[in-house]
Amino acid sequence: MNPAVHARPLFIALGLLLLLALWLSLALGPVSLPLQETLQAALRLLGLPLSGAGLEQAELILGQIRLPRTLLGLAVGAVLALSGVAMQGLFRNPLADPGLIGVSSGAALGAALAIVFGARLGGLPEAFAPYLLSACAFAGGLGVTTLVYRFGRRNGQTSVATMLLAGIALTALSGAAIGLFTYLADDTTLRTLTFWNLGSLNGASYARLWPLLIVTIAVALWLPRRAKALNALLLGESEARHLGFAVERLKRELVFCTALGVGAAVAAAGMIGFIGLVVPHLVRLLAGPDHRVLLPASALAGASLLLLADLVARLVMAPAELPIGIITALIGAPFFLYLLMRGRS
C-alpha cells in the first residue's frame, strides 16, 4: 500500500499543526489578553525583567493556568495516541483501542472507588488526599491490565485473542462494580463521577503534571524503538518470530507501555475517548502502516487534536467549561464515519 503522503511533508505539516495548537492554547482563553501582553508575559516567564500595567495578571494566567494546562494536553494527547498505535499493532486490528486490555475500565473502577469511598476514609494525610483519585485510577488501570495479561498467558505464550476476550469480560465486571458504586453514591458524588468520566484538563498544576510528563517521555522514546518489530508483527506472530523478533517480549512491552501511559493520562485528566482510536487510524490512512512513521506522527497529531479540542472546551461555554470528552467524541465520531465512507467508495 502506497502512502498518500510521504513521511517528510507529513512530519512538517504535523509539526506546524502542533506549533499552531500550542500557540493557540497559550494565547486564547476566556480572559482575552492582547497579543503584545501575552508575548511580554511569556518573556517574563522566561526570566526577562519586563514590567507594565496588568503584566503580573497576564503572567499568572499564562504561567499558572494556561501553560500547565497546555503541557497536560500535550502529554495526554500524545500518550493516548501512542497507546492507540501500540494496541492496534498488538491486536493487528485498526479498530483496537487502549480500552481493550481493560486499562480504561480499571482506571474508572479505581476512580469510582476513590470518589465514592474516599470521603469515608477521612484519616488520610493532608499531603496525600488530593492525589487519592489519581493514584486509585492509575492503580486500577494497571491492576486490571495485569489481570487481563495474566489471563492471556498459557504455557509461556500470550494469546492475543484470549487477552481480548478477557479484556471484554473484565471490562464488563468493572462496569458492574462501577454501577454498584453509582447506586450507592449520593447526588454530589454522582455528579463528580459523571464529570470525571467525561474528562477535563481543568485545574492542571505543575505538581500533578510531572508524573505524567515522565511517563509520556518514556513511552514516546521507547515505542519507536520497537517500530520494526511492530512492522514485522503486522505479518503475523509466527512470521515475526521467524524474522528474529522476540515476539513475547514485544507483547509484554506493548501492554506495559499502554497500561502505564493510559493509566497516567486517565489519572491526570479523567477519561478522554476517541483520541486513542481515531488518531492512529487517521494517520495510517494518510501515511500508511509503517510504524516508523506512524508512531511519531500519531503522537504529534494526538497532541494537536487534544489541544484544539481543549481550546473549544474552554471557550465555547465561557465562563463555564465543557468536559473535553464531549468535544473529542463530537469531533472524532463524525470524522471517523467520514473516513469509513470515503474508504469504501
Per CB under 8 A, the segment of 4-12, 54-62, 99-107, 137-145 that binds other proteins is 54-62
Q: Which of 241, 257, 109 is nearest to 174 (CA)?
A: 109
Max Cα–Cα distance, the chain, nearest Å: 70
Of 200, 216, 231, 298, the residue at the interface with other proteins (CB under 8 A) is 200
CB of 188 to other proteins, least distance (A): 6
Among 214, 317, 337, 340, binds other proteins (CB under 8 A): 317
Q: Which is nearer to other proteins, 169 or 185 (CB)?
A: 185
Assess whether the previous peptide bond of 334 is cis (omega < 30° from 0).
no
Of the candidate spans 83-91, 179-187, 285-293, 332-340, the one that interacts with other proteins by CB under 8 A turns out to be 179-187
Residue 26: CB minimum distance to other proteins, A: 12
Q: Considering the complex, what minimum distance in angstroms separates the CB of residue 311 from other proteins?
A: 12
Where does this chain touch other proteins (CB under 8 A) — which range of 152-160, 162-170, 238-246, 318-326?
318-326
> What's the min distance (Å) between Cβ of 64 and other proteins?
6
Nearer to other proteins, 95 or 318 (CB): 318
Q: Using alpha carbons, select from 343, 342, 316 the residue that is nearest to residue 327.
A: 316
- Residue from 49, 125, 187, 221 touching other proteins (CB under 8 A): that is 187
Window contacting other proteins (CB under 8 A); options: 75-83, 157-165, 181-189, 231-239: 181-189
For the CB of residue 35, give the shortest distance to other proteins in the complex, in Å: 17
Contact set for other proteins, span 107-146 (CB under 8 A): 130
Q: How far apart are CA 154 and CA 142, in angstroms?
A: 20
Stretch that binds other proteins, among 64-72, 86-94, 247-255, 284-292 (CB under 8 A): 64-72
Residue 190: CB minimum distance to other proteins, A? 9
Among 21, 61, 87, 178, binds other proteins (CB under 8 A): 61
The reply on whether position 72 binds other proteins by CB under 8 A is no
Residue 54, interface with other proteins (CB under 8 A)? Answer: no
| Residue range at the interface with other proteins (CB under 8 A); choices 16-24, 238-246, 290-298, 311-319 | 311-319
User: Smallest distance, Å, CB 191 to other proteins?
Assistant: 7
Q: Report the nearest approach of other proteins to the CB of residue 302 (Å).
A: 23
Counting residues that bind other proteins (by CB under 8 A) gives 32
Q: What cell does 174 get? A: 468493572
Secondary structure of the chain in HEC code, one letter for each residue: CCCCCCHHHHHHHHHHHHHHHHHHHHHCCCCCCCHHHHHHHHHHHCCCCCCCCCHHHHHHHHHHHHHHHHHHHHHHHHHHHHHHHHHHHHCCCCCCCHHHHCHHHHHHHHHHHHHHHHHHHCCCCCCCHHHHHHHHHHHHHHHHHHHHHHHHEECCEECHHHHHHHHHHHHHHHHHHHHHHHHHCCHHHHHHHHHHHHCCCCCCCHHHHHHHHHHHHHHHHHHHHHHHHHHHHCCCHHHHHHCCCCHHHHHHHHHHHHHHHHHHHHHHHCCCCCHHHHHHHHHHHHHCCCHHHHHHHHHHHHHHHHHHHHHHHHHCCCCCCCCHHHHHHHHHHHHHHHHHHHHHC
Give residue for cell 480572559: 31
Interaction site with other proteins (CB under 8 A): 29-32, 57, 60-61, 64-66, 130, 183-188, 191-192, 195, 200, 202-205, 208, 314, 317-321
